[in-house]
Amino acid sequence: MNQLASMKNFKKYIPLMKELITRDLKVKYRRSVLGYLWSLLNPLMMMAILTMIFSQIFRFNIPNYPLYLICGQTLWSFFNESTNQAMYSVLYNGALLKKVYIPKYIFPVSRVLSSFVTMSFSLLAIVIVLLVTRTPLHWTILLFPVPLVFLLLFSIGVGMVLSALSVYFRDVVHLYSVVTLAWMYMTPIFYSLDIVPEKVAFLIRCNPMYHYITFFRELLLYGQIPTAGVWIFCGISSLGALAIGVLIFRKLQRNFILYL
C-alpha cells in the first residue's frame, strides 16, 4: 500500500527531477564563456598535466598511460563531485523543503544524476584520447555502460548517507573532504596495483571504486570481460551501498526540517 503510493509519488515528481538536473547544469557553467565545453576540456587538461608528471617525473611504466589515466580520473571525479554535491543538497534546498512537501530523496538523487550527465560529456574526452593514441578498438567497449551503472548506484547510496548525516552534523562536511583525499590515494587512478606492497594491495581490493575503474579499463584498454567474481563484487557493493543509503535516509528524513 505504502510502496504503491510512493511509486505513484515518484511519477509525479519526474518533472521536478528534470528541473533540478537542468538547474544544476545551468548553474555549474553560468557566466563561463566556454560553458559545457569545460566538461570536455577539464578532463583533457588534467590528463595532460598528470601524464606529464607521472610519466616524465615519476616514470611510471604503464602502457598507454594517457588512456589509463583518463579512465580512472573521469570515473573518480564523477564519484567525488556527485557525492560532494549530494552531501550539500538537502542543506541547500532547505528553503524549498520548508515551504512545500517534496519527497526529500529527490535532492541527493538529482545531484548525482546531474553529475552523471556532466560525466557523459566527459566520456567524449575519453573517445578523443582513444582516437589520438590510436588504441586498437575492442568490441568489449560496447559494454562500457555496465561499470558506469554500478558506479552510479554506488554514488547514489553514498550521496544519500552523506546528505542525511550532514543535516544533523555539519562536521560530516569537513570530515568527508579528508576521507575523499585518503580514498583517492587508495584508488589506483594514476598508479597501477602492481607497484604497491601486498598489504596495501589487499586493502585496495576491498575498495569498490578500484573495481569499477578496473572494470571500465578492462573493457576499453585491454578488450577483456572481467571475471564473474568482479561482476558479483561490483553488483553487491553498488546495490549494498544503495540499500544502506535508502535505509539511513528514510530513517533520518523525518526530522530534517528541524535542523535546516
Partner 1 sequence: MTQNIIEINHVDMRFNLAEEKTDTIKEYFVKLLRGKLHFSEFYAVKDVSFNIKKGESVALIGRNGSGKSTLLKIIAGVLYPSSGSVSVHGSIAPLIELGAGFDMELTARENIYLNGAVLGFDRDFMNQHFQEIIEFSELQQFVDVPVKNYSSGMIARLGFSIATIVKADVLVVDEILAVGDYKFQQKCHERMSQLLAGGTTLLFVSHSEEQVKELCQKAIWLDHGKAMAIGDVDEVYRAYHQATD
Our CB check for partner 1 shows the closer of 1 and 100 to be 100
Q: Is 19 in the site for partner 1 (CB under 8 A)?
A: yes
Part of the chain binding partner 1 (CB under 8 A), chosen from 12-20, 64-72, 188-196, 199-207: 12-20
- Applying CB under 8 A, among 7, 12, 198, 228 the residue interacting with partner 1 is 12
User: Applying CB under 8 A, which part among 76-84, 117-125, 165-173, 216-224 lies near partner 1?
Assistant: 165-173
Query: Counting contacts by CB under 8 A, is residue 259 touching partner 1?
Result: yes
Q: For partner 1, which residue of 31, 59, 99, 134 counts as binding (CB under 8 A)?
A: 99
CB of 98 to partner 1, least distance (A): 6
Q: How far apart are CA 234 and CA 56, in angstroms?
A: 34
257 near partner 1, judged by CB under 8 A: yes
Radius of gyration of the chain (CA): 19
Please name which of 183, 180, 186, 184 lies closest in space to residue 199, comparing C-alpha atoms.
Answer: 186
Which of 74/110 has CB closer to partner 1? Answer: 110
Q: State yes or no: residue 206 binds partner 1 (CB under 8 A).
A: no
Nearest to residue 130, comparing CAs of 67, 76, 48?
67
The interface with partner 1 within residues 78-97 (CB under 8 A) comprises: 93, 95-97
Say whether residue 205 binds partner 1 (CB under 8 A): no
Judged by CB under 8 A, the number of residues near partner 1 is 27
What string marks each residue from 110 to 149 as x (binds partner 1 by CB under 8 A) or -? ----------------------------------------
* Residue 228 binds partner 1 (CB under 8 A): no
Q: Measured between alpha carbons, how far is 68 from 73 in angstroms, rounded to an integer?
A: 9
Residues lying near partner 1 in the complex (CB under 8 A): 12-13, 15-16, 18-20, 23, 26-27, 93, 95-102, 169-171, 254-255, 257-259
